[in-house]
A and B are shown apart, each in its own frame.
Chain A
């Protein structure tokens, strides 16, 4: 079986072609112009990850919502579950960038952290 993965490491956007065995194992990997493309494409094939960014509700702040991110990328198939979890969060101003809003998010060993300061409203 053949699979195409567009490398997103740099703007070249190489079309990496993976030849796969019957259990999905990578037999060959071509089309990438550098080593980073190989690393990216094999990771993307075996265990794709994404950083989840969203907003959570915040009380007492100058804005009604606070932008957050996962401290590290999480498995791509956990994005939806992550959004449902994010929707449950209610936090309180003031906030400093980097504050942990949810520890051990989805038991994935990553934290949900604030991506900006948010002062309290007067």
Chain B
């Protein structure tokens, strides 16, 4: 078995892995390795051929492949090593990685620090339990996106899309532009799950109907999908009798959520947050296992790649310093708690002596509210939505002012306006 020794091993060559590897090297790590199972770097960005990426990072509206290419070009200018078509099988708590590829067989990689950047995968029909037959023609939206944009063929002519996540909305436009008919987008919640600009530019532009508080209750067809039955749902998501409607279609795309891919993390003994499905991390994006860091969609599902890059640079930078033995002093620890209308906050624990950037999501949409950052900062928000991640930074100076060792993040009514008024 071939053995390698590296300073920082990054698992996954998507946007998170690329940014983490670059930052690790910048921090001084001599030998940085990216391990990627696909035939090329760039991850999911390579199939996201639409534009709208990089508005924050590059002050420009890039397509997914363009955003990826900029990072790939930066990596190519360095001596960061890349293993493609290489599957990681196991990561141990001692930061030993077992991987395999068809050229070298098994590999054993000893890393001083490991960055988990494996991304996420799509929730499937099985997770929803939609009744009916099991014909061909039911795809996750991302799989269909790959068929169209990377492999170059259309998987259907007449589609219904279940779920109004961004990938589903993007695919509604993509199918329409390629000449297919999108009959409907069906969403169980009372509001769209994706970004508003995608609802406008992908559905309204093409007069594609969006049915809210509705779902697919049956799949019809023997060999190929022939139709789906949709129905409105009540507050408990139960179908309302009498609202059923059959829509003929040969394709059903599912855009019903993403799940961080943490099988390797769990094997290594990494503790997961049940809400995000990703590791519990500190200000350095380090998990409970010393020297194992996490960033990007494996940590929590993002809506903007710009945020993935920033978060991953932080992880990579701390991983690089860890590999060099610069672990810092044992600082005062502060626990982060999700309060009123906050579903989760990452990171979960911070140090009082290090700057930190929090990413969080709300539980429900609200307007004219204040994001209260443990009383240390109060930020006015005209509107908050679960689909749009909130970000806030704190300096060590601000953190020093916290009383106690718990910081409560909450969304509260504006001064002088009572919630129950």
Contact of A115 among B66, B178, B204 (CB under 8 A): B66
Minimal beta-carbon separation of A111 from chain B (angstroms)? 14
Q: Is the CB of A115 within 8 A of B49?
A: yes
In the assembly, what is the distance between CA of A117 and CA of B40, in Å? 11
- Closest partner residue, chain A, to B196 (CB atom): A13
- B61 is an interface residue with CB less than 8 A from chain A: yes
- Closest partner residue, chain B, to A86 (CB atom): B177
Q: Is the CB of B46 within 8 A of A116?
A: yes
In this complex, which of A8, A12, A13, A53 has the most chain B Cβ atoms within 10 angstroms of its Cβ? A53
Give residues 25-73 of A contacting B (CB, 8 Å). 33, 50-51, 53-55, 57, 62-65, 67, 69
- B197 is an interface residue with CB less than 8 A from chain A: yes
Q: Is the CB of A6 within 8 A of B149?
A: no
Chain B residues within 8 Å of A117, by CB: 69, 72
Q: Is the CB of A51 within 8 A of B61?
A: yes
Q: Residues of B within 8 Å of A, CB-based: how many? A: 34
Chain A residues within 8 Å of B46, by CB: 116
- Closest partner residue, chain B, to A67 (CB atom): B49
Q: Is the CB of B66 within 8 A of A116?
A: yes
Chain A residues within 8 Å of B179, by CB: 83
Q: Is the CB of B201 within 8 A of A97?
A: no
- Closest partner residue, chain A, to B47 (CB atom): A67
Chain B residues within 8 Å of A8, by CB: 196-197, 200-201
Q: Is the CB of A62 within 8 A of B39?
A: yes
Q: Is the CB of B177 within 8 A of A97?
A: no
Chain B residues within 8 Å of A65, by CB: 149-152
Q: Is the CB of B152 within 8 A of A76?
A: no
Q: Is the CB of B151 within 8 A of A6?
A: no
- Closest partner residue, chain B, to A54 (CB atom): B177
Q: Mark B137-178, 1 if CB is under 8 A from A, else 0.
A: 000000000001111100000000000000000000000011
Minimal beta-carbon separation of B165 from chain A (angstroms)? 16
In the assembly, what is the distance between CA of A62 and CA of B51, in Å? 23
Contact of A76 among B49, B151, B197, B205 (CB under 8 A): B205
Minimal beta-carbon separation of A23 from chain B (angstroms)? 24
- B366 is an interface residue with CB less than 8 A from chain A: no
- Closest partner residue, chain A, to B61 (CB atom): A51
- A109 is an interface residue with CB less than 8 A from chain B: no
- Closest partner residue, chain B, to A44 (CB atom): B200
Also in contact, A64 and B151, with CB within 8 A (given A8-B200, A8-B201, A13-B197) = yes
Minimal beta-carbon separation of B191 from chain A (angstroms)? 11
- B310 is an interface residue with CB less than 8 A from chain A: no
What 3 A-B pairs come out closest when comparing CB atoms?
A116-B65, A8-B197, A65-B152
Using CB atoms and an 8 Å cutoff, list the residues of chain A in contact with chain B: 6, 8, 11-13, 33, 50-51, 53-55, 57, 62-65, 67, 69, 76, 79-80, 83, 97, 115-117
Q: What 20 additional pairs, Cβ within 8 angstroms, besides A33-B382, A83-B178, A116-B42?
A: A6-B196, A6-B199, A6-B200, A8-B196, A11-B197, A11-B383, A11-B385, A12-B382, A12-B383, A13-B197, A50-B201, A55-B149, A62-B40, A63-B152, A64-B151, A67-B65, A83-B179, A97-B65, A115-B49, A116-B69
